[in-house]
Structure 1
Amino acid sequence: MTVRAAWLTNRGDLAGGQTRNDSRMTPLGTMTPAAELTTTPGVIPGGDPFALAATGPMTATLGVGRAVVQGTDIQGAYPVAVTAPETLTFADGDPANPRIDLVVLRVYDSAHDDSGRVLAAVEIIPGTPAAAPAPPPLPAASLPLYRVAVAAAVSAGTGGIDFPAATTDIRPYTVAAGGIAPQANAPGAYRAQYRDNGTGLQRFSGAEWVGYAAELVPWTKVSLAGGYKHNGNSNGNIAYRVIDLIGARFVQWRGGMNVTYRGGAPVRDGEFLTAVLPTVARPGTLRTVPVACSAANSNVLSLKADFRSNGRAALVAQSGATPPWVSLNGVMYVI
């Protein structure tokens, strides 16, 4: 058997009973709760569990992986493992209309259903052909993994399914209680639950997901153009980082730079970077911010800096303001 479920059969049952190997191969322990007596079903992350790979015009394999499949409240949750690739064969397309098939991990338990079976299996649940097809209903005690669009009249003789284009990955993920789910739409179950939405960390307040501070790009020292030098007034090197803060992306700056002027204006029209900022650090529109400056040779204590959507940055000084250094410490703007 390559699809195994722990806590499904007893030793001595016709189905063979749970073995020690079943127990080792299947996930045990307290997973993320869904309610008082239920577990959030899903794939257990690690590598690429249950990867779907095309093997022929109408066939594919489902790779190895581990998961938790929740039955009814009284059934509890079934730890399941697939230990060798499972072959999937899709039926030919309807002559007139497309359909959507569902690839699922399913548990049969005759103590709780009328299947007369006690096993775990990988199955294709065929959809109903229609001009605008919908996925089929999810059977009880099943975990959805993929949706596969089967075009009208498709078959091995007509070239088969274009699996990369036809497949939609819908694998849900679950982790141990207190763990961080690597899924943008992971459901919130309890206060202080965390998830990684792909760009940052979020915390569940008990009512909604709230962004959490995360560093997306670490502090990066920039290369300054001619006429500008790092560590102005001993403020440190000019550097930036990109962070996610409460669901929004910001760029932070730090450090100071010495500035050279010609004709009362900063050299190079104030553009102090030798290269444009990477896309991840560019604002969507112009960001104009104040920057502190020296009182020497200046009738003001701050200038302004423009951070542009093309990745360029420029220092702007008014008449009578030619301070020898400026500080970017504390400068931050939303992307």
Structure 2
Amino acid sequence: MKVDLFDFHLPEDLIAQTPLEDREASRLLVLDKKTGKLQHETFRAILSYLQEGDCLVLNDTRVLPARLYGEKEDTGAKVEVLLLKQEKEDTWETLIKPAKRIKTGSVISFGDGRLKAICTGISDHGGRTLTFQYKGIFYEVLDSLGEMPLPPYIKEQLDDKERYQTVFARERGSAAAPTAGLHFTEGLLEEIKAKGVHIAFITLHVGLGTFRPVSVESIDEHDMHAEFYQMTKGTAHLLNDVKKSGGRIISVGTTSTRTLETIINEHGKFVESSGWTSIFIFPGYEYKAIDGLITNFHLPKSTLVMLVSALAGRENVINAYGQAVKERYRFFSFGDAMLIV
């Protein structure tokens, strides 16, 4: 299957540069996955599409302020570092720009020496393994020196770091936000629960795969980067009970979707588990875990558009995206949302 089948025209001015002040005020495009029918709503209308006995599954990962600006200690050359994955306590897999300046043994200083990093390994595409040195607690130092790693298509600065976090974020470790969850407020979640809808949490730390475009012509040739996930025993029991009772599992975001499908593929049901997933979902895949999906609008020819197309059909999704462009929906991380049921 050719990657070009998932291309569409997206005017650059539809890429949302800043979040709305009111999280719930985003627009919501509702797609019936069986008929392809579309409904235009606001996000608060999600309440009317959820039924008693359903379960919303949210990714509670918390984004690290993982972009650091420092300088090479011996030359003063400016360096940008993006933390991607913690390998052990003070050692991280990172992306560095410009990478050619950093060799094994190079020392980078941040914040007038409050944080230092020694390069202990080199990998492809600007990847470097860094071991950090600091006084105090690493995450407190990172909070004071780091910036939110906003995607490259967002040019505006973010005044409030918390606006790139979901209101339920708690497990630190992501290089990017699970953006479908950004539309929820604590009040809306309480209203959803009051309707008899279950709320469940899983964790998937978004990593390098988010920043890697599909550069091959055929889907079969693309390699997904592995990301860490975990599910608790309580969540597993709840999801199994919802399935048995005939309720729907509505995944919030592609990250939650990939976690749920990974676990059910490996175990045949939901179980307490953790590990690394590199699952790649595209048309032809048969969903086993989820019945519906809340998601943002994604990049043309991206693995995320392919995942959505596997659930609702490529033609339905491309048509929906065309309508979203026509109606001037806001796209990507700070943009509007889509509900597929």
TM-score interval, smaller chain: under 0.3
Report the structure, 1 or 2, having the larger strand content.
1
TM-score (norm 1): 0.21
Which fold has the larger relative contact order, with Cα–Cα distance below 8 Å and residues 6 or more apart in sequence?
Answer: 2
TM-score (norm 2): 0.21
Flag the structure with larger Rg. Answer: 1
